[in-house]
Structure 1
Amino acid sequence: MSDFVIDQKEIERSCELLRAGQLVAFPTETVYGLGADAGNVDAIAKLYKVKGRPGNHPVIVHLSELAAVDNWAYLSKEARLLGETFWPGPLTLILPRKAHVSTLLTGGQDTVGVRIPSHPTALALLSTFGSGVAAPSANKFGKLSPTTAAAVKEGLGEEVSMVLDGITPDIGIESTIVSLVGEPSILRPGMLLPEDIAAVCGLELKLAYLKSEAEGESEPVVKAPGTLDSHYAPQRPLLLVERGKLGEVLLELGHKGLTCNLLAFADSQSLIDSVAQDLADKVSIDRSLFVERQAKDYARGLYGNLRHLDETGAASCIVVEEPPGDSAWHGVRDRLKRAGHGSSLQSLFLSV
């Protein structure tokens, strides 16, 4: 799809729908967004209703250029540096909101999230629309984010007025969210490295997502989207398993007569094959996907792979080999930990 041609008539039709208070789904370089006119409170209310999104969960305002941010938020020197470096791109900044910005957008807070996507279809839409578009991921709240137009249509159906097609998202998971209000923090990791962000803005950044992970619960105030303990979840329970325990978990599932769909690294395939041989007639793996140990490629295919494993066969669960822990993998690990929140072998065995 690299030679995809943007249909300007579809862009203009989408803008007409947005101005009329309707919802339009569109691709970004991260995932598909479900867009509403950020200046229309009725459209925002409709967006929350269709998503099934709690009112205290802020949404991100998408804009076409850095100059437009001044209409929505107060830009500090550090924020401007980050914008000039990483926009257009997969970075969201949490900034003090301007007075006219509706608290429906911000979850009742005095801050607003803003972003300039790099996807050509998204930029064409935003440039033609000429104002801010509020756009969380184009799926029901808490579920797997879509990375194709087909996945949006399957999940939302006629609740969205139009779904723009475009080049498949190149990043594959949601944007990195950096708050520059109060203690500078990365609230949600993405595919931008924390050390690169800190080097540009010259600030020491707290990795807030690691703190909440260690404490085992989310902050009482939802400062940014996608930060609940349970989020990005497939329908089937997801078990995130470190490499050293993969064989043990697969054996336990097999002995209980349960099957799984498996997402693992290619260099673990020999281990998996040996477990399958040991199980003989009690094979616990229904479907398997083996991927390379490359963070960017893994992220790009993550939601598509999880969707495939969620919809294929009759497995009891999805088993995912835990990715590495270095900063290049923080975004992927964050999504998988939230996708698997609350799932365990014990809960699976109790359901049998």
Structure 2
Amino acid sequence: MSLPEVSVIIPMYREGPLISETIESILSQTFTDYEIILVDNNADPETRGFAEEFVKKHPDKIRLTKETTQGIASAKNKGFQESRGRFIVFHDGDDLSHSHRLATQHSFLERHPELTFIGSWHDLISHDNHLIKKNISETLPSFWAETEKIFNQHFQEAFLRPKTRPIKFPLISTCFLRREAVRAAGGHDERLNPRWFEENEFLLKVFDQGDAGVIPEALLSYRKHSPEGNRIMKDQMNWIRKTRHLNTFFNILKERYADRPGTEKLLNRLRSHFLRYTSQFFLQHKDGAPLGRIGLKRAIESSPADELSRKLLMKSYFPKALYPKLFWFDHWMTEPLPTEVNESFIRSLFA
């Protein structure tokens, strides 16, 4: 039995009927030399039931495997272990690949052996398949756009070899990767389970293997989460866990880059950016402004030229009635700050 050219790895958790639409979008590809690996990451019975039906109908194309350690990183690593293709696609379980996606990306990488992977633009759709925006090329959300900018300003200092193309963080579902690059990168870091930051941490390791590119065409429809999907994600990762997770992400980057010559500026800029980002969580609490100010002052210490942190620090002393408009949040967090979230906590972040 010949090996497939492409392995499409789809982790499953709480997608429900949306997993069927995702699988159908792969089965409808004009490029047919692929396998689909569905990774049951403690999926609910409804999601698993839909998956099992597809396995029965397409046993030559679809395999179902199990990963009990909860988290996207673990699920994708399990899928990669089970995969056989020369090229790898890590596909979210609710997104939709356009019918020519695999053909376009396979052809592109075959013509460009110097690239480790290729991403693409994407369309944004609602949870019920209504088009919201076409041909999105910019890096989203703005947090990653700023992170991307920092790496592009300092990547010659941080990476193992000169790069001829700028770093870009495309949506992971749009990425089409060479198998050897995924293996050399060591897969996804499972310290970032259950979710958040694992995808771009992984892509940064792939960038260490070589250059990458982005096809200027939407090859995937990225699905905006439903209210229920947002609730599930919030239950997994509230703002405190997200802050701790970002701290873990920073420590992973520090482990990787600290010993490379000239990376002090990169780490200082990232520290400042991450402190400014997390300080706004504290400012959204009515009793959190003092802690938010500590974070902003640390951001300025780490990168004195950071004008945005200076502006936010100044705004933090304005009357609280102005806060939602000043800091771009819609409402106050009404629950009190947990006792473990104190001055010691915020001073320990990104140290």
Q: Same fold (TM over 0.5)?
A: no
Which TM-score band applies after superposition, normalised by the shorter structure? Answer: 0.3 to 0.5
**Higher normalized contact order (CA 8 Å, seq sep 6+, divided by chain length):** 1
Between Structure 1 and Structure 2, which shows a larger proportion of helix residues? Answer: 2
